[in-house]
A and B are shown apart, each in its own frame.
Chain A
Amino acid sequence: GAGVSQTPSNKVTEKGKYVELRCDPISGHTALYWYRQSLGQGPEFLIYFQGTGAADDSGLPNDRFFAVRPEGSVSTLKIQRTERGDSAVYLCASSLTHMGAGSNYGYTFGSGTRLTVV
């Protein structure tokens, strides 16, 4: 597609429920990134994929968070047993390749999913 698409744009869920957030990157972009952004803060890294594999999942806060990208395109971020502290905007971004040495390929971000856990 022309841009990075994230669905849903807003999600309200009850504490303890399971949620899935979807990201559809720019066609041909091999790298896909998930970030979480709280109010007044910069985006906080969660996980990134190079193709189908998770190249770095060091930012996932705990084992309730999981992400997949089975065909190297669309990715789903899954959160189990949601907690109120999970409320944030979840941003997805894609780039032609990963942020390697000397890379000038900036990210293209999606508009995010605003998750509210009540």
Chain B
Amino acid sequence: GQNIDQPTEMTATEGAIVQINCTYQTSGFNGLFWYQQHAGEAPTFLSYNVLDGLEEKGRFSSFLSRSKGYSYLLLKELQMKDSASYLCAVPRGGKLIFGQGTELSVKP
């Protein structure tokens, strides 16, 4: 919705690194959020970027380029429990607008 685009699904191997991309409409930019959602559960906050660059938080890092309208979530040392949907979201008009989510499957 509202021009937030993410790949629908990705598959990766346990122990590997995976990058999940998100592109968004740049007008009125107020930061970008990443959420993780396991099947049947509520989305949980992962990261928030408002300035360009990479922010690292343990095995997860998030990158932002405001001029390109582009962000990615980098997951290192993948574990089976990382299998989930990853949602990119931007604030617009006082609320968060979400992308469709990227379903990540981690295989042994």
**Residues in A neighbouring B8, C-beta threshold 8 A:** 40
- What is the minimal beta-carbon distance from B53 to any residue of chain A, in angstroms? 15
Closest chain A residue to B96, Cβ basis: A99
Closest chain A residue to B43, Cβ basis: A109
**How many A residues touch B, CB cutoff 8 Å?**
29
Taking CB atoms and an 8 Å cut-off, the chain A residues in 26-60 that contact chain B are: 31, 33, 35, 40-45, 48, 50, 55-56
Given A109-B43, A111-B41, A111-B42, check contact A98 B94 (CB 8 Å).
Answer: yes
**Residues in B neighbouring A2, C-beta threshold 8 A:** none
B44 with A109: CB separation less than 8 A: yes
**How many B residues touch A, CB cutoff 8 Å?**
27
Given A42-B87, A104-B50, check contact A48 B97 (CB 8 Å).
Answer: no
B91 with A100: CB separation less than 8 A: yes
A65 within 8 A of B: no
Name 10 interchain pairs, CB-CB below 8 A, sorted by A.
Answer: A33-B95, A40-B8, A41-B100, A42-B101, A45-B96, A45-B97, A45-B98, A104-B50, A109-B43, A111-B41
Residues in chain A within 8 A of chain B (CB atoms):
4, 31, 33, 35, 40-45, 48, 50, 55-56, 91, 98-104, 106-112
Residues in chain B within 8 A of chain A (CB atoms):
1, 8, 30-31, 33, 35, 41-45, 48, 50, 87, 89, 91-101, 103
